[in-house]
């Protein structure tokens, strides 16, 4: 029989006969591996879900591509840039944008906010008009109609969609010299809030306004832009389109993908994910010492049988394989059962949202094929090493009475 070592190993693991203590320790090792694999798979799946959640959260903050000037804030030769973008076959839509900090006041209350001036094409790149929870998106017929992030609007108690409720936006004026009157300090405009939208942490304290309002506050010429945000027909081609546009637009233009705009954020997420992986890899490594104990106990319990097998001509190499295969079978059972339980828990969370990070937000979970491979490979690697090391018994151990 070619696989006699594997056959005996499977009998040692699955047979109901034998020492109760050995059976308990063996299945305890399987259970420990199952729990460790389940925990690692669930946690990594949660991080995969967090990645998708964060992508959704920043989708309102950054487009597929963002164009900025490398010399000053205002994009130079804007007409040439927009012509190139209009003719590019991979670009679906683009929009001009100006963003600056402002001070907003209403009825004695004030706060610092971010004013994002956009043109009427902005909603084709970022459909924020669909997220207005109260009121309506500005019609762009008037430059002073804006939508405001919900918590900012609540703090200032600004009535929404009321024609006689004007808030005031103030922008400091650039320049030097003696200030002789209030108008020398800042530009100010009265605005009407036509709707509110949820900030989702990424757009807290934001005001979305027509581009003309930002131009007036900043004393910029008409048809100016600090940035141009671009929506691609296929976001997967972002890097290729970026290089193509850089070749067409020259050195005075800086182009960043969505990932590059959030480089620090994604670095933080990936670092956290790496540390979580290392922690759970250590947990699995420690768990495999249950496997070592199971192999040692099995060797002690089956010592007389081992002597008989050697006496019947079984090579010592095959005897070692018996214990090695037993360890591998324990690891394989633990991995399979752990991945099955982990998958079941992930589906349970997806459909019931039972476990919550806070009262409103359930832990996001995403089942990804590569996570199965990562977890299985980690557990199998440690299991293989432990099984190999602790299956190496000597001939003297077998022959010794």
Closest by Cα among 126, 125, 132, 130 to 146: 132
Domain that holds residue 40: 4-58+265-399
3-state secondary structure 15-26: CCCCCHHHHHHH
Where does a domain end: 236, 261, 286? 261
Alpha-carbon radius of gyration of the chain? 33
Same domain? For 219 and 273 the reply is no
Where does a domain end: 261, 287, 309? 261
Per-residue pLDDT of the chain (401 residues; tens, 9 = 90+): 456 766 666 666 666 555 566 677 778 888 889 999 999 999 999 888 887 777 666 665 678 899 998 888 888 888 888 898 988 899 999 999 999 999 999 988 889 999 999 998 999 988 888 888 888 998 888 888 999 998 898 898 888 877 777 899 998 876 555 555 666 678 889 999 999 988 766 677 899 999 999 999 998 888 889 999 999 988 888 889 999 888 888 778 898 888 787 777 778 778 888 888 888 889 888 888 888 877 777 777 666 666 666 666 666 666 777 778 888 888 899 999 999 999 999 999 888 878 777 777 788 888 888 999 999 999 999 989 888 887 776 455 555 54
Same domain? For 295 and 381 the reply is yes
Where does a domain end: 261, 284, 300? 261
Same domain? For 145 and 169 the reply is yes
Burial class of residue 35, CB neighbours in 10 A (0-12, 13-18, 19+): middle
SS3 355: coil
Give the H or E element holding residue 182: none
d(CA 26, CA 15) in angstroms, rounded, equals 12
Domain count within the chain: 2
SS3 275: helix
The whole model's pTM is what? Answer: 0.66
């Amino acid at each position: 029989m070619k696989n006699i070592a594997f056959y005996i190993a499977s009998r040692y693991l699955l047979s109901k006969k034998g020492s109760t203590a050995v059976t308990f320790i063996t299945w305890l090792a399987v259970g420990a591996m199952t729990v460790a694999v389940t925990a690692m798979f669930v946690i990594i799946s949660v991080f995969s879900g967090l990645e998708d959640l964060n992508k959704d959260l920043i989708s309102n903050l950054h487009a597929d591509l963002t164009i900025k000037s490398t010399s000053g804030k205002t994009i130079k030769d804007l007409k040439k840039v927009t012509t190139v973008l209009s003719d590019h076959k991979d670009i679906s839509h683009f929009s001009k944008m100006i963003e600056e900090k402002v001070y907003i006041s209403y009825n004695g209350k004030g706060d610092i906010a971010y004013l994002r001036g956009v043109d009427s094409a902005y909603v084709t790149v970022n459909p924020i008009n669909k997220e207005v929870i109260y009121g309506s998106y500005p019609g762009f017929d008037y430059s002073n109609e804006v939508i405001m992030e919900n918590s900012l609007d609540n703090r200032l108690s600004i009535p929404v969609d009321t024609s006689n409720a004007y808030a005031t936006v103030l922008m400091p004026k650039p320049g030097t010299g003696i200030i002789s009157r209030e108008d020398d300090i800042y530009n100010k405009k009265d605005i009407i809030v036509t709707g509110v939208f949820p900030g989702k942490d990424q757009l807290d304290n934001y005001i979305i306004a027509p581009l003309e309002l930002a131009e007036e506050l900043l004393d910029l010429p008409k048809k100016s832009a600090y940035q141009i945000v671009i929506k691609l027909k296929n976001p997967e081609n972002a890097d290729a389109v970026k290089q193509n546009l850089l070749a067409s637009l020259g050195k005075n233009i800086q182009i960043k993908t969505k990932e590059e705009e959030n480089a620090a954020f994604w670095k933080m997420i990936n670092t956290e994910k790496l540390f979580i992986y290392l922690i759970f890899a250590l947990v699995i490594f420690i768990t495999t010492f249950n496997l070592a104990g199971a192999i040692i106990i099995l060797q002690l319990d089956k010592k007389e049988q081992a002597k008989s097998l050697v006496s019947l001509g079984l090579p010592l190499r095959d005897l070692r394989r018996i214990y090695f295969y037993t360890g591998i079978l324990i690891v394989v059972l633990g991995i399979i059962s752990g991945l099955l339980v982990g998958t079941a828990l992930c589906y349970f969370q997806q459909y019931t949202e039972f476990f919550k990070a806070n009262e409103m937000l359930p832990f996001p979970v995403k089942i990804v094929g590569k996570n199965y491979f990562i977890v299985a490979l980690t557990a199998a690697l440690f299991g293989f090493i432990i099984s190999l090391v602790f299956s190496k018994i000597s001939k003297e151990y077998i022959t010794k009475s």
